[in-house]
Chain A
Amino acid sequence: MSAAILEVSGVVKRFGGFTALDGVDFTVAPGERVGLIGPNGSGKSTLVNCIAGTLRNEEGRIRFEGRDIHAYPAHRRIRLGLARSFQIPKPFASMSVLDNLCVPLLYAAKGGEARRAADEAHGILRQVGLEEKAHAMSGGLTQVDMRKLELARAMAAKPKLLISDEAMAGLSTSEVDDILALLMGLKAQGVAVIMIEHVMRAVMKFSERIAVLVAGRKIADGDPQTVVGTPEVVKAYLGE
């Protein structure tokens, strides 16, 4: 069994008097497709932020490829290969779609020459289906294109682990399938993916394993069919 690429152990995060994460353990194997689900407010985004480095957890350890990354700022974590997309897309609005990708290519992926970065950016845009919009201003894209750009930017960092934070929220069925195909394709590149979603059919199709977070605690972790059948999970979503 290969060593885990991400190991989260006993992570606690508090906001004043409110405990958002109450001792969460979570691992991801290299190339694995993991779904992370849970009701709103259960702490999923907080967990993502702690892993990515935009928030600091008070207790617990986070290891990436065996290395303790607690002291690493976010920009260093992504350079190690830990990428994330944002739930609400945050494009670099003054730049074109192409230039948006050049930033992570140059900084996270250590892409060297700016000229080569542009070529690589085109490649990624082709992969996500945004190539025709390469020179469009990123501020004026449609919702689904913005989500694709978010993911493309995370992919441009050449990550080993990519966290997709509710990229499908509010999209139509065909748009969801677009994003799903995109994320499935990452497996071929050996990229592990954590998918945080509410669109259950996408989560079921995508995940090799599902973890469930409720009120800051992980209540289930395992085979998708088994997990969604567990009484605690059903109760969490549907009530008593």
Chain B
Amino acid sequence: MSNGKFAVVAIAVAIAFAAASQLVPNEYFFTAAYVVLQFVILATAWNILGGYTGYVNFGSAAFFAIGAYSTVVLYNAAKAPLLVMIVAGTLVAGLLGLGLGYLTLRLRGVFFAIASLALAVVLYTFIVNWDYVGGARGAYVLQPREVPFGLPRYIHLLYIVLVLQAAVALVVARAIEKSTIGRGLAAIRDDELAAECSGVPTLRLKIFSATVSGALMGMAGTTFPFYLSYIEPSSAFGLSYAVNSIAMPLIGGMMSWVGPLIGAVLLGSVQQLVQVTISSAWNLLIVGVLLVLFVTLAPNGIMGWVDAWRRRRDRR
């Protein structure tokens, strides 16, 4: 299926989800689905640099938060329209990815990973000390009273925006994966030195990958301040984002765009359940344990099982 066709299918499915949601009577669905969709975008975005290129980013929270906080800035400055906020946040996060990549992707993968962690902490400290966005006390970002398109509540709009964002992220990820750039990234992942000696401009492609990955993660954060009408640094930089953006692609499968989607939907839904029934601390523990189990025992994730089963079937 070509990229164009896939994009059409993705948007169509997104619109179908949007329309069908209006038939769901339970309001809780929207708050829960919003979080799961956030993870779909984060996992897909992370995987572009992680699964496709082989560079681990521990600072997903930094990119997510910068998307969220650029919304706060635009809200405080000019009450900008939502679309403007989304585009702006995506671009700023992309720039952050570009900057981090340019500075640290010349080094070994482990240094990039540590630098990404460092970035999250440095950014967190800056935000905590920046009064314009509320600092440690947080900021209020009020949902508009008038809900556009005649939707019953604002969370419905947020849900629909996120479904569309998820579709965009998946289309972008798949397009990259199937393109020449995707082959180059896979070569880098498999053996960076051999890739360089096969003509792949490794630094350029890595920076590209980091930029796109960062931009999409920022995109996921742009609507977050509206979710609870309030945002503060510890939730924007939450631990859950860091661990889930790694665990979900790992569990789902890092080789293609399908893995992060599966991982996010499965793991995200399980977490919503556990959080409500048990506690959020136990929830995180379960994610951590699953991460360690999968990375040691089933490193190719669920899609890895599917591929292995397919290959065994083809051999017969």
Contact = CB atoms under 8 A, between A and B. Distances in A.
Interface of A: 52, 54, 73-75, 78-79, 83-84, 86, 90-95, 99, 102-104, 106-109, 114, 153, 156-157
24 contacts: A52-B197, A54-B197, A75-B198, A75-B201, A78-B199, A83-B197, A86-B194, A90-B191, A90-B193, A92-B194, A93-B191, A94-B190, A95-B187, A103-B187, A104-B198, A104-B199, A106-B180, A106-B184, A107-B180, A107-B184, A107-B200, A108-B199, A114-B180, A157-B199
Given A75-B198, A94-B186, 4 more contacts: A78-B197, A103-B184, A109-B199, A114-B180
B198 A95 contact: no
Interface residues of B, number: 20
A103 B193 contact: no
A74 B200 CA distance: 9
A153 to B, nearest CB: 6
Contacts, number: 75
B100 interface: no
B186 A75 contact: no
Contacts of A54: 193, 196-197
A93 B194 CA distance: 11
Is chain B's binding surface mostly helix, strand, loop or mixed?
helix
Contacts of B197: 52, 54, 74-75, 78, 83-84, 86
A54 B201 CA distance: 13
B255 interface: yes
A70 B86 CA distance: 45
Contacts of A74: 196-197
Residue of B191, B195, B198, B200 with highest tally of chain A CB at under 10 A: B198
A86 B195 CA distance: 12
A204 B187 CA distance: 36
Contact of B186 (A78, A92, A108): A92
Nearest to B192: A90
Given A99-B183, A103-B184, A107-B184, A75 B196 contact: yes
Nearest to B189: A94
B202 interface: yes
Nearest to B311: A137
Contacts of B198: 75, 78, 103-104, 107-108, 153, 156-157
